[in-house]
């Protein structure tokens, strides 16, 4: 098809009973089938997983973090060794976030104004300044396929005045990011902010569309507002974004969140849950959550999930994995991270297939009712 030869996005099919979309995001490093889930390689690597393994597990696009790469090893180092793709040994598509969320969640923030933010590194305390131009230039130099505008993310709950300020800054910073953007091989996505205030979400989405971007993200969610309020906000925001551009729900999430957001027309997702929970002996399965540290698995010869085709489930028992965790063997977290990533990629493939067959709405209802995935069971560590 013509769109496969150029950078951009194509919607191939929309479910007749909801807004779920089947599409393809074409990047300089190849296509990404959507809806898509991106594993997170915070500091330039998906923890414990080799790039070749990521491909076998079904991942097409991964995410790296601008904030962490600026802190160390520094953009100069990444650039000198050949750019982010070579640095990560990943020849597929990469998305980098702007660093804005980490500035507010990790850094010791010392100053924020309409020009940018000044913060202290969480590693060594040195003061670093980040503004729209700097964030964009750094991402241009890193060389990711999709880069994000700098935005101001607010905590939940926030006062209306704080949300208004953040939205106005996000809009102004996005315009400056677009002006500073210099790499035509990269797509630049803007981020819609506004907390759970629907009026502000509308204002932000409208203003960003007036400037025009390659894609649009819904940011500032999955920060404590809960599933129902998050989905209510997405239901309001997603239809206001351009139908011919990809829609990216940042930092989400649980399988139930993904199914609900796909129904509303969201195309892209990322989250730390598959690997973070895997490092903490927590497995995702089609029958619900599984904690491998529990003593019930001491002599369990079953795989994590009998019908899963991942390396972990084809070669290891629950008993063996539990033993690895209990004795501090690094293989345990690696094996469960691999399984969890595969679980997510199988889920996304099933979602795409259901949309193609025109049965997504009914299929998603069945998944939600049958599986009863927890909404708030997140392991931190």
Name the residues annotated as catalytic. Answer: 97, 270
Q: Alpha-carbon distance 255 to 103, whole Å? A: 27
State the DSSP code for 5: G
Q: Alpha-carbon distance 346 to 58, whole Å? A: 8
Q: Alpha-carbon distance 148 to 129, whole Å? A: 17
Q: Token pair of 12, please?
A: 């191939």
* Residue 117: closest CA among 100, 105, 138: 100
Q: Which residue has the tokens 């923890």?
A: 47
Q: Which residue has the tokens 């998050």?
A: 230
Instruction: Quickly count: other Cβ atoms within 10 Å of residue 28's Cβ.
Output: 18
Q: Alpha-carbon distance 155 to 173, whole Å? A: 19
Task: Using the CB atoms, write b or e for 159-180: b if 16+ within 10 Å.
Answer: eeeebbbbbbbbbebbbbbbeb
Q: Alpha-carbon distance 49 to 70, whole Å? A: 22
Contact 269, 253 (CB under 8 A): yes
The torsion angles phi and psi of 102, rounded to 5 degrees, stand at -70, -30
Contact 330, 301 (CB under 8 A): no
Q: Token pair of 185, please?
A: 């091989």
Tell me the β-bridge partners of 128: 119
* Residue 266: closest CA among 233, 228, 288, 226: 233
* Residue 229: closest CA among 130, 337, 301, 157: 157
């Amino acid at each position: 098809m013509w769109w496969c030869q150029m950078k951009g996005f194509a919607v191939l099919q929309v479910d007749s009973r909801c807004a779920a979309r089947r599409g393809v995001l074409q990047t300089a490093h190849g296509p990404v089938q959507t809806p898509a889930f991106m594993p997170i390689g915070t500091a330039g690597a998906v923890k414990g997983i080799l790039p070749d393994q990521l491909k076998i597990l079904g991942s097409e696009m991964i995410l790296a973090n601008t904030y962490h790469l600026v802190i160390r090893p520094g953009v100069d180092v990444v650039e000198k060794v050949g750019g982010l793709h070579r640095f990560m040994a990943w020849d597929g598509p990469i998305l980098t976030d702007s660093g804005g969320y980490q500035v507010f969640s990790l850094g010791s923030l010392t100053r924020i104004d309409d020009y940018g933010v000044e913060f202290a590194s969480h590693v060594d305390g040195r003061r670093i300044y980040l503004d729209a131009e700097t964030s964009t230039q750094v991402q241009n130099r890193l060389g990711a396929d999709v880069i994000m505008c700098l935005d101001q993310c607010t905590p939940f709950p926030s006062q209306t005045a704080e949300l208004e300020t953040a939205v106005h800054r996000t809009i102004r910073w996005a315009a400056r990011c677009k002006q500073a953007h210099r790499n035509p091989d990269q797509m630049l996505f803007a981020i819609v902010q506004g907390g759970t205030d629907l009026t502000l979400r509308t204002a932000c989405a409208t203003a960003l569309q007036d400037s025009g971007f390659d894609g649009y993200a819904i940011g500032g969610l999955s920060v404590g507002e809960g599933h129902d309020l998050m989905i209510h906000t997405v239901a309001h925001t997603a239809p206001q974004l351009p139908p011919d551009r990809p829609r990216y729900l940042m930092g989400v999430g649980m399988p139930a969140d993904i199914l609900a957001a796909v129904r509303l027309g969201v195309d892209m997702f990322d989250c730390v849950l598959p690997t973070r929970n895997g490092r903490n002996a927590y497995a995702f399965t089609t029958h619900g959550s599984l904690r491998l540290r529990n003593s019930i698995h001491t002599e369990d010869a079953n795989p994590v999930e009998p019908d899963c085709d991942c390396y972990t489930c084809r070669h290891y028992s629950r008993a063996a994995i539990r033993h690895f965790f209990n004795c501090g063997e690094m293989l345990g977290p690696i094996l469960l991270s691999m399984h969890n990533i595969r679980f997510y990629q199988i889920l996304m493939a099933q979602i795409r297939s259901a949309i193609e067959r025109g049965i997504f709405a009914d299929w998603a209802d069945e998944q939600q009712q049958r599986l009863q995935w927890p909404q708030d069971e997140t392991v931190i560590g």
